[in-house]
Amino acid sequence: MISQTISQQLLDHYNISGFHANVKQGGQKTVFFPVRDGKKQVLKLFQNGYNDRLDRELEIYDKFKHLDSIPQIISVENFNGCCFIFEEFIEGDTLCDIENRFIGQSPLITQLLKDIFEVMTPIWEQKLVHRDIKPENIIIRENGKPVIIDFGIARDLDGATLTGTGFQPMSWRFASPEQYAGDKFKISYRTDFFSLGTLAYYLYHGQLPFGNSHNEISTKFQNNDESFTYNSAFTLHEFCREAMKFSVSERPRAINDLIKLL
């Protein structure tokens, strides 16, 4: 099967009557937005078939299926050698589509972060890390509550690692120094803290704290230059300073210690 198309046979088999949004192409999967039995859903098609990473993602969804702040898995399918999952479609806006609303709005960002902490705390407490928190992976429901999606590169810190030494999957804009360095030993829930600090800064200022290119950010990390400028009205600078410590061990250990800075 070609990654960006779905065969008529499959459409018929699963009662897909059409699509409610354009297809999205990710690193290892293609995401379709089918309408099935009159309901909007998400269909994730994995180019390389069923693998350990998908297995881990499914485990996470299963472990936290009681939470309404991460998507529910409807079914895992294997059809004609293709591996794909049907997932709940979250009605709402992706944070990246509405990020302009947050510029200069500390109280709005504070509330969003508190909600994200509420979602992520039980996940971190189970020694899991998302590793890819960014506006594209946060959907804001109509009631304003965030849903965290795409646990595709999440890591179970008690489980075996799926990445080799020297490489860490990441989105460069919100990634931490340990992800840039490819240091898998240092990946932890505090890696997500760093991304949340970066997200808070980005939403307020409309730009990233340590540079606007992969190279600029990488240079700051390598030079251990933790300085960043911020608008004087930005009330979350202390939160950002602690969450974005380059040293993992210096970021707050207790989740509540970081929440208190909001």
Query: Where on the chain is the footprint of other proteins (CB under 8 A)?
Result: 124-125, 127, 185-186, 188-190, 247-250, 252-255
The token pair at 24 is 């999205």
What CA–CA distances, in Å, run from 247 to 80, 87, 184, 250? Answer: 48, 37, 14, 5
Q: Which is nearer to other proteins, 2 or 254 (CB)?
A: 254
| Burial class of residue 235 in the structure, from the number of CB atoms within 10 Å of its CB (0-12 exposed, 13-18 middle, 19+ buried) | middle
Shortest spacing between CB 68 and other proteins, in angstroms:
24
Q: Which is nearer to other proteins, 215 or 247 (CB)?
A: 247
**What's the full length of the chain, in residues?**
262
Shortest spacing between CB 202 and other proteins, in angstroms:
25
Shortest spacing between CB 129 and other proteins, in angstroms:
10
Shortest spacing between CB 203 and other proteins, in angstroms:
26
Q: At what angle do helices 189-205 and 106-125 cross, to 10 degrees?
A: 170
Q: What angle do CA 5, 96, 204 make, to 5 degrees?
A: 165
Shortest spacing between CB 149 and other proteins, in angstroms:
23
Q: Which is nearer to other proteins, 71 or 197 (CB)?
A: 197
Q: Which is nearer to other proteins, 44 or 155 (CB)?
A: 155
Helix, strand, or coil (residue 13) = helix
Give all strands of the β-sheet with 138-141 in edge-to-edge order.
92-94, 138-141, 146-148
Q: Which is nearer to other proteins, 37 or 158 (CB)?
A: 158
